[in-house]
């Protein structure tokens, strides 16, 4: 297990690609937990690494529990540990999550996001990425 700490943007991909699982330990004390969409999650999607994340409503808007991530009880170190153990102990689940994440990452690219924004501003609704 490695805790990398702060890293420059250019340094982010290598440790993500090397990870077996990525933990996003947000708590109820995280100020923006009700409305945030962390860029970190998009980077993890692009790396295709299984995620253990706190189960806040906003977190489930992008990742599907059990398919792309394990959403666990917020504010619980034990729940985080159990989530990590569940992924590390089940290679089939980890592989399924990785493949799903890589597939879903396409719809969160900057290009796909720009298309959705343009479609919304042009009154065309939101179509596929």
Classify domain 9-121 by CATH architecture.
3-Layer(aba) Sandwich (3.40)
Q: Where are the domains of the chain?
A: 9-121
- What's the mean pLDDT when you consider all of the chain? 84
Q: Does residue 97 contact residue 67 with C-beta atoms inside 8 Å?
A: yes
- Tell me the whole-structure pTM to 2 decimals: 0.77
pLDDT given at position 49: 92
* Nearest alpha carbon to residue 13 among 42, 43, 37: 43
pLDDT given at position 57: 80
Is residue 24 over pLDDT 80?
yes
Segment 100-116, tens digit of pLDDT: 998 888 887 778 878 88
pLDDT given at position 32: 74
- Rounded mean pLDDT of 30-52? 79
How many angstroms separate the CA atoms of 102 and 51, rounded?
A: 12
Question: Who wins on pLDDT, 17 or 35?
Answer: 17
pLDDT given at position 96: 95
Question: Who wins on pLDDT, 126 or 53?
Answer: 53
Confidence of residue 38 (pLDDT cuts 50, 70, 90): low
Segment 62-94, tens digit of pLDDT: 788 899 899 999 999 999 999 999 999 999 999
């Amino acid at each position: 297990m490695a805790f990398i700490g702060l890293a420059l943007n250019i340094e982010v991909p290598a440790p993500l690609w090397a990870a077996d699982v990525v933990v996003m330990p947000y708590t109820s004390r995280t100020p923006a937990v009700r409305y945030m969409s962390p860029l970190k999650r998009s980077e993890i999607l692009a790396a295709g690494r299984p995620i253990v994340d706190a189960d806040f409503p906003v977190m489930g808007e992008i990742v599907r529990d059990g398919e792309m991530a394990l959403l666990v009880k917020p504010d619980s170190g034990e729940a985080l540990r159990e989530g990590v153990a569940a992924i590390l102990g089940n290679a089939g689940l980890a592989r399924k999550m990785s493949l799903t994440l890589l597939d879903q990452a396409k719809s969160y690219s900057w290009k796909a996001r720009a298309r959705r924004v343009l479609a919304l501003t042009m009154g065309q609704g939101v179509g596929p990425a």
